[in-house]
Homo-oligomer: A and B are copies of this chain.
Amino acid sequence: MPAGGVAARAGVVGALQGAVHARLTSKEFGGALGTLCDLRTGAPDAALSPREGDLLRPVWRRFRRARSLPARLVSETAEAASASQHAWAEARRRSDFKLLRPHLERIVRLKREAAACLGGAHPYDPLLDEYEPGMTVAELDGLFGSLKGPLVALAGKARGRGRRLAALADSRHDGPSLDIFCRSLASDMGFDLSRGVIARSAHPFSTGLHPTDVRFTIRTTGDGVMNQALSALHECGHALYEQSLDPRWWGTPLGEYASLGMHEAMSRLWENLVGKSREFWLGRWPSLRRAFPEALDGVSVDAALSHMRRVAPGTVRLESDEVTYSLHIILRYELEKSLADGSLAVRDIQEAWNELSRELLGLAPVDDRRGCLQDIHWAGGLIGYFPTYALGNLYGAQLYARFCADHPGWDARLTRGELAPLTAWLKEKVYRHGRRWPAAELVRRATGRAPSTEAFLAHLDARYAHG
């Protein structure tokens, strides 16, 4: 999209959102829904099957959200977010939080107003619920509380581990070799190229228009062959989820991903748990070296792993490693929560950010650009979104641990280049269920336990504690 098209797109998106809101809050829709469930509680009619009830509950949640929020608040928030994102770009360019402050104050005020309309045990709960249905502050406090200490300790222990290889980091791949490698990798993962497209773009992304039309990209200009491969694993993980949703349920919650946290789990599992494992690369090394002789000549699998597993605490989330990544999220979560309940004012964000950065990451950002201005989320009105990234780490690790426990010969198969058994298991346990249950329930059904930090910490410990 050209820069000039931003306003027109915002207008179209706003019009569509308005149409959806009008439909959801219409008398006809409420009337029809009321014949199937209790409109106050969402409890399905006793005559419905369990599956029908599961389908109905997310519809009711969406209905309740739409009915609770005044149309005026919805459109004002959309408008504020649009203006705020422009201001953020400028503030970030100048590394000056002051330029964003009035906009962010407006966003926070609108979000607190929305939270009050929606209700919840904590004012942050209904904001979080938009991205991770069913998740609460009470639960997140528990999960992140038990994550914080061990991660800080592990980051301290592993700091400086791993060694950057210029050949891997700086190589540029504009030719067809990388596309061929990524297509073959995606195909091995189970991505169906007759129902999907892999292309190049400035920033990698994936998008599912329908299970028969799922698209993801790798970067236009090279970013080092390892980064491109990890990025392909990440995006293809998202894409596989979208491609494996049941097309018969398309347009209903059963044909939709469970939550953003679960979507992120499906990408991070492939990127980190599979993609930074020794077994995965052992099997692919010969073909990779043939494809990229300049970058990989003389580079061993272990040197590549050391490159991928560098641990170097910094202040920028997008440059962070597997160990410290979740600490960046906890920092944002603490601030969002305080903004939501009013215990933190927007004017104090900078100071609070830097303080938490020192506490969690061991260092404060050198400027706002590398601190509280690094992400667009808040400026875009996305408050309550960040925790889904860390939940993705937890869900993914717990699911993968269970898969490995149930597949004793997996390491050997992975070394032989097999990926399909993992995809088949995820299809069975996660993909095909869509939004039938909240993500935490989906994890419990797949692994026998509620989401916890145990598998994730065990994985990091095994990989990073003993350098």
Instruction: Give the interface of A toward B (CB within 8 A).
Output: 1-5, 7-9, 12, 192-197, 209-215, 247, 250
Distance of A431 Cα from B4 Cα, bound (Å): 19
User: What is the distance, in angstroms, from A195's C-beta to the closest C-beta of chain B?
Assistant: 4
Decide if B197 touches A2 in the complex (CB within 8 Å): yes
User: What is the distance, in angstroms, from A323's C-beta to the closest C-beta of chain B?
Assistant: 37
Distance of A129 Cα from B66 Cα, bound (Å): 43
User: What is the distance, in angstroms, from A223's C-beta to the closest C-beta of chain B?
Assistant: 18
Nearest chain B residue, comparing its CB with the CB of A11: B210
Q: Which residues of B contact A12 (CB under 8 A)?
A: 210
Q: Which residues of B contact A9 (CB under 8 A)?
A: 209-210, 213
Q: Which residues of B contact A211 (CB under 8 A)?
A: 8
Contact of A7 among B1, B212, B215 (CB under 8 A): B212
Give the copy number.
2
Distance of A192 Cα from B12 Cα, bound (Å): 22
16 contacts between A and B (CB under 8 A): A1-B213, A2-B195, A2-B197, A2-B212, A2-B215, A4-B192, A4-B194, A4-B195, A4-B196, A5-B212, A7-B212, A8-B247, A8-B250, A9-B209, A9-B210, A12-B210
Secondary structure class of chain A's binding surface, majority of residues: mixed
- In addition to A4-B194, A5-B213, 6 A-B residue pairs with Cβ atoms within 8 Å of each other are A1-B213, A5-B195, A5-B212, A8-B213, A8-B247, A12-B210
Q: Which residues of B contact A196 (CB under 8 A)?
A: 2, 4
Pairs of residues from A and B, 7 with the lowest C-beta to C-beta distance, nearest first: A5-B213, A4-B195, A8-B210, A4-B212, A4-B194, A5-B212, A8-B212
User: What is the distance, in angstroms, from A211's C-beta to the closest C-beta of chain B?
Assistant: 8
Q: Which residues of B contact A195 (CB under 8 A)?
A: 2, 4-5
Distance of A8 Cα from B251 Cα, bound (Å): 11
Decide if B2 touches A193 in the complex (CB within 8 Å): yes
Distance of A210 Cα from B7 Cα, bound (Å): 10
Q: Which residues of B contact A215 (CB under 8 A)?
A: 2
Nearest chain B residue, comparing its CB with the CB of A210: B8
Q: Which residues of B contact A8 (CB under 8 A)?
A: 209-213, 247, 250
Q: Which residues of B contact A194 (CB under 8 A)?
A: 2-4
Q: Which residues of B contact A3 (CB under 8 A)?
A: 194
Distance of A212 Cα from B209 Cα, bound (Å): 24
Distance of A247 Cα from B210 Cα, bound (Å): 32
The residue in A192, A195, A213 that gathers the most chain B C-beta atoms within 10 A of its C-beta is: A213
Distance of A12 Cα from B212 Cα, bound (Å): 13
User: What is the distance, in angstroms, from A239's C-beta to the closest C-beta of chain B?
Assistant: 11
Nearest chain B residue, comparing its CB with the CB of A19: B19
User: What is the distance, in angstroms, from A53's C-beta to the closest C-beta of chain B?
Assistant: 27
Q: Which residues of B contact A197 (CB under 8 A)?
A: 1-2
Q: Which residues of B contact A192 (CB under 8 A)?
A: 4
User: What is the distance, in angstroms, from A19's C-beta to the closest C-beta of chain B?
Assistant: 9
Distance of A357 Cα from B203 Cα, bound (Å): 50
Contact of A209 among B5, B193, B209, B213 (CB under 8 A): B5
Nearest chain B residue, comparing its CB with the CB of A15: B251
Nearest chain B residue, comparing its CB with the CB of A1: B213
User: What is the distance, in angstroms, from A326's C-beta to the closest C-beta of chain B?
Assistant: 35
Nearest chain B residue, comparing its CB with the CB of A250: B8
User: What is the distance, in angstroms, from A192's C-beta to the closest C-beta of chain B?
Assistant: 7
User: What is the distance, in angstroms, from A455's C-beta to the closest C-beta of chain B?
Assistant: 35
User: What is the distance, in angstroms, from A23's C-beta to the closest C-beta of chain B?
Assistant: 11
Distance of A454 Cα from B197 Cα, bound (Å): 48
Distance of A209 Cα from B5 Cα, bound (Å): 9
Nearest chain B residue, comparing its CB with the CB of A3: B194
The residue in A2, A12, A212 that gathers the most chain B C-beta atoms within 10 A of its C-beta is: A2
User: What is the distance, in angstroms, from A201's C-beta to the closest C-beta of chain B?
Assistant: 10
Distance of A8 Cα from B212 Cα, bound (Å): 7
Contact of A2 among B1, B7, B213 (CB under 8 A): B213
User: What is the distance, in angstroms, from A40's C-beta to the closest C-beta of chain B?
Assistant: 31
